[in-house]
Amino acid sequence: MLEKAPKMVLNSEAMGVLTIAGSDPSGGAGIQADLKTYASLGVYGCAAISSLTVQNSNGVYSVQAVKPELVKEQIRMVLADLPISHIKTGMIGTSQVAEAVGECLAEFKGTMICDPVLKASDGHDLFAADGLASLGEHIIANSTALTPNFTEFQALTGIVLNSDKDLSAGAEKLFSQYPRLKAIIVKGGHRNETSPVVIDSLFLRDGLKFRTITAERPRIETTNTHGTGCTYASALAAYHLKTGYWPQAFQQAGDYVAELLKLSCDRKMGQGTGPLWHHLYKEKDQS
Ligand code: PLP
């Protein structure tokens, strides 16, 4: 059951989301997926590039980090000019870039969503081996919301997930480690890949209280899943900008990705794992 959001807190048309992430020249993941998501949801999007990847639907071939100073300048120049209410981070790539981005985030007063990207689904590392600690110290420590998938959640918490109890224990561990975090969304797509349903979980911190909301949807059989994680986190940022409310953003971002998976499942773009077709999305009246 979708909770009703309190009155809208921001004029969403006058504000924007800044993505800090890697570039995927094939347009399926990274900043390209994020900007398509914002455009299809009617939210202004802009992007600072942290890393260049060489990839297509068959996989990632190589990765080149952008100089940390240059990443910082991109972010600072955008924030100095545009009314950015939300920042979303994706692939950060190296500890040096994480540190530079962290300096900018520490000064940012808006809402910050971290998608803790560590590996591509073909197994290619998208963060240097020493990255986990610096992702925590510089990016997650400055984040309001975190959107790990199952594998990332286990890596971040050090907890092997066997039950829902382990999931809650992991969320509480992250909340106590990172005082700025208000929402943790664990995406369920990779939890039990033979299950006919996918269950996403939202853990919320409200003062000293915690609560959990889950969303269960039928699994959509498709191989066109490239960039689904990037798209989910961007949709969360866009819907949070529109509603100011995590339960609603959680529900709507999940519905949006499910709808895109359905719209894209019979299409062919590239020879490997196909992308989502954001451009086919038509927003439904949410009132
Ligand atoms: N490339 C970039 C630049 C990304 O940011 C990501 C994921 O966040 C990926 C590739 C991985 O995409 P996927 O694992 O969905 O293929």
Q: pLDDT, tens digit, for every residue of 28-62?
A: 999 999 999 999 999 999 999 999 999 999 999 99
Instruction: Determine the Cα–Cα distance for residues 270 and 238; give it in Å rounded to an integer.
Output: 28
pLDDT given for residue 29 in this prediction: 98
Instruction: Determine the Cα–Cα distance for residues 179 and 67; give it in Å rounded to an integer.
Output: 29
Report CA-CA distances (Å) from 242 to 5, 44, 86, 106: 10, 11, 11, 24
> For the residues 193-208, what does the mean pLDDT come to?
91
Report which residue type is found at 92: I
Range in 61-75, 129-143, 238-252 with the lowest mean pLDDT: 129-143
Instruction: Determine the Cα–Cα distance for residues 199 and 34; give it in Å rounded to an integer.
Output: 23
> For the residues 213-219, what does the mean pLDDT come to?
97
Cα pseudo-dihedral 109, 115, 116, 119, rounded to 10? -150
Report which residue type is found at 109: K
Query: Is the beta carbon of 226 within 6 A of some atom in ligand 1?
Result: yes
Q: Please, what is the average pLDDT of the chain?
A: 93
Give the gyration radius of the chain's Cα atoms.
17
The model carries a pTM of 0.94
> For the residues 208-218, what does the mean pLDDT come to?
93
Residue 99 alpha carbon to ligand 1 centre in Å: 21
Q: Is 161 exposed, middle or buried (0-12, 13-18, 19+ CB in 10 A)?
A: middle
Residue 235 alpha carbon to ligand 1 centre in Å: 15
Query: E strand or H helix at 254, and its extent?
Result: helix 246-264
Which is more confident, 190 or 95? 95
Query: Is the beta carbon of 252 within 6 A of some atom in ligand 1?
Result: no
Residue at token pair 């993941």: 29
The answer to whether the beta carbons of residues 230 and 239 sit under 8 Å apart is: no
> For the residues 276-285, what does the mean pLDDT come to?
87
Query: Is the beta carbon of 19 within 6 A of some atom in ligand 1?
Result: no
In the chain, where are the structural domains located? 12-158+232-277
176-189 pLDDT, tens digit per residue, is 999 999 999 999 88
Distance of CA 157 to the CA centre of its chain: 18
Report which residue type is found at 227: G
Query: Is the beta carbon of 91 within 6 A of some atom in ligand 1?
Result: yes
Q: Which ligand 1 atom is at minimum distance from the Cα of 21? A: 5
pLDDT given for residue 8 in this prediction: 55
Q: Which ligand 1 atom is at minimum distance from the Cα of 225? A: 15
Please check the confidence at residue 272 and state whether its pLDDT lies above 90.
yes
Q: CATH topology for 12-158+232-277?
A: UDP-N-acetylmuramoyl-L-alanine:D-glutamate ligase (3.40.1190)
Residue 103 alpha carbon to ligand 1 centre in Å: 24
Instruction: Determine the Cα–Cα distance for residues 146 and 136; give it in Å rounded to an integer.
Output: 11
Please check the confidence at residue 66 and state whether its pLDDT lies above 90.
yes
Please check the confidence at residue 257 and state whether its pLDDT lies above 80.
yes
Calculate what percentage of the chain has a pLDDT beyond 70.
95
Sign of CA dihedral 87, 91, 97, 102: positive
Q: Which ligand 1 atom is at minimum distance from the Cα of 90? A: 5
Residue 148 alpha carbon to ligand 1 centre in Å: 13
Q: Which amino acids are annotated catalytic?
A: 187, 225, 227-230
Nearest to 278 by CA among 25, 90, 28: 28
Calculate what percentage of the chain has a pLDDT beyond 90.
84
Please check the confidence at residue 217 and state whether its pLDDT lies above 60.
yes
Please check the confidence at residue 190 and state whether its pLDDT lies above 90.
no
Instruction: Determine the Cα–Cα distance for residues 176 and 28; give it in Å rounded to an integer.
Output: 35
Query: E strand or H helix at 231, and its extent?
Result: helix 228-243
Residue 276 alpha carbon to ligand 1 centre in Å: 12
Confidence grade of residue 287 (pLDDT, cut at 50, 70, 90): very low
Strands (E), 43-142: 44-56, 59-65, 84-89, 111-114
104-156 pLDDT, tens digit per residue, is 999 999 999 999 999 998 999 999 877 889 999 999 999 999 999 999 999 99
Please check the confidence at residue 167 and state whether its pLDDT lies above 90.
yes
Please check the confidence at residue 7 and state whether its pLDDT lies above 70.
no
Query: Is the beta carbon of 47 within 6 A of some atom in ligand 1?
Result: no
